[in-house]
């Protein structure tokens, strides 16, 4: 099983939209596990049809396996996840051990992290093979990039493990009609260079509808949904290729 973490210390950058569509996309070809570590539980609501009878918090308490619920299986977020931040940091390694115990059960795992550097985020970073970082095209999101990269490297150094593959900074909720955002995007491209993911997720109405309809944008009718579907499927085709996901 290969594990992808979607993370950013800042909220409101489209993490949940990305993880939900990653789950739908990858489940077309792979046995896919999605873990919701964000106590807001928006991802759990969106993927509610695939939720297993295991809460995400259980993965930190003791090595725990999640029985598959079909091509796509989701562990449920609850407010109990907040309690993970008040326990011994051994829970970080317990989470890693939970995922290691499911290596033969799934082909790929995608983890939605909270918008903060917490025990939950560190557990995800310790267990993962690759990291994708959605960022908003604004000054505050760009300023947080260095801290995000330090966290990825810091966890690897602390636990003596190889660094996960950093897939890049993915511009998300990008309003191409905004002159300021276009200018900031050009500035980010100059500063980030190869750290920038080769794709974007634009600001589009179908993505908001996907959450309420609990269905991927490519399953919707209309030209706007078709464009969104081509865009986000292209993102995850690149992710799958770079992670060397094969059946």
- Global pTM reads 0.94
Task: Tell me what pLDDT residue 140 has.
Answer: 57
Lowest mean pLDDT among 31-35, 121-125, 173-177, 231-235: 173-177
CATH superfamily, with its number, for domain 2-242: P-loop containing nucleotide triphosphate hydrolases (3.40.50.300)
Rounded CA-CA distance 145/188 in Å is 10
Q: Note the pLDDT tens digit of each residue in 97-117.
A: 999 999 999 999 999 999 888
Provide the pLDDT confidence category of residue 143 given band limits of 50, 70 and 90: low
Q: What is the per-residue burial (b if ≥16 Cβ within 10 Å, else e) of 140-160?
A: ebbebbeebeebbeebeeeee
- What is the greatest pairwise CA distance in the chain? 50
Provide the pLDDT confidence category of residue 141 given band limits of 50, 70 and 90: low
211 vs 98, residue with greater confidence: 98
Task: Tell me what pLDDT residue 116 has.
Answer: 85
Nearest to 111 by CA among 94, 87, 130, 83: 130
Phi, psi of 63 (to 5 degrees): -55, 120
Provide the pLDDT confidence category of residue 139 given band limits of 50, 70 and 90: low
Rounded CA-CA distance 242/198 in Å is 11
DSSP letter string, 43-74: HHHHTGGGEEEEETTHHHHS-------SSEEE
């Amino acid at each position: 099983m290969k594990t992808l973490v979607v993370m950013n210390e800042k909220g409101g950058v489209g993490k949940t939209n990305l993880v939900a569509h990653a789950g739908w996309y990858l489940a077309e070809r792979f046995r896919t596990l999605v873990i919701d570590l964000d106590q807001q539980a928006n991802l759990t609501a969106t993927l509610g049809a695939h939720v297993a009878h295991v809460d995400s918090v259980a993965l930190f308490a003791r090595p725990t396996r999640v029985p598959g619920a079909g091509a796509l299986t989701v562990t449920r977020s609850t407010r109990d996840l907040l309690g993970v931040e008040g326990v011994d940091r051994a829970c970080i390694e317990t989470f890693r051990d939970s995922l290691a115990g499911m290596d033969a059960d799934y082909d790929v795992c995608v983890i939605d992290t909270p918008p903060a550097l917490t025990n939950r985020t560190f557990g995800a970073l310790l267990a993962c093979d690759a990291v994708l970082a959605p960022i908003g095209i604004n000054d505050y999101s760009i300023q947080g990039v260095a801290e995000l990269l330090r966290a990825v490297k810091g966890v690897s150094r602390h636990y003596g493990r190889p660094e996960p593959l950093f897939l890049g900074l993915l511009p998300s909720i990008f309003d191409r009609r905004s002159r300021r955002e276009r200018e900031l995007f050009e500035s980010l491209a100059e500063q980030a260079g190869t750290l920038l993911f080769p794709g974007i997720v634009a600001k589009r109405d179908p993505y908001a509808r996907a959450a309420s309809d609990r269905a991927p944008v490519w399953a919707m009718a209309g030209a706007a949904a078709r464009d969104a579907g081509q865009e986000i499927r292209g993102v995850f085709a690149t992710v799958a290729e770079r992670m060397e996901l094969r059946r």
